[in-house]
Amino acid sequence: MQFQVNYGISMVGNVGSITLTKINNAINAGYGIDVYAPTIHNISVQKTNNSATFNWTTTESARGKVYYSTSPFGMSEAIGNFTSPSITGGATVMALNMQSSQNVAVSGLQSNTTYYYIIEVADASGNVSVTVQSTFNTNQ
């Protein structure tokens, strides 16, 4: 279904003649069909009393997003192939570039406060990975 969305084909969820033609054209043009989500590694959080900088690497070029909040997030499972889970509550900051080494700065935080965060990354094909919810404390 994600392939169909990416290539402007009606999202029917099965491979008919139109989808098969697009798959064959992509393969013949030398494009691989990427169905693997990037893996997130080496997460670190550098914090001050009112900011935090999140750093991580991924196994392939991806764009990242940091969700952060003073309350735990609500989460629900992804409802389709190549979609991210629904994450509710808090604010988000997105990385600007597709790359395998990311850093995202968050400012305007409260000092001496516990924050919850989740990192989400997506590659160019729309494959998504999400970390488990974690916490950090800002400095006093």
- Specify the pLDDT at position 113: 97
Rounded to two decimals, the pTM is 0.74
What are the tens digits of pLDDT across the range 24-73? 887 777 666 677 889 999 999 999 999 999 999 999 999 999 999 999 99
Ordered domains of the chain (ranges, CATH): 1-33 (no CATH), 40-137 (2.60.40.10)
CB pairs under 8 A, 24+ apart, for 42-47? 43/119, 43/131, 43/134, 45/117, 45/136, 47/136, 47/137, 47/138, 47/139
Residues facing 131 on adjacent strands: none
What are the tens digits of pLDDT across the range 89-106? 888 888 888 999 999 999
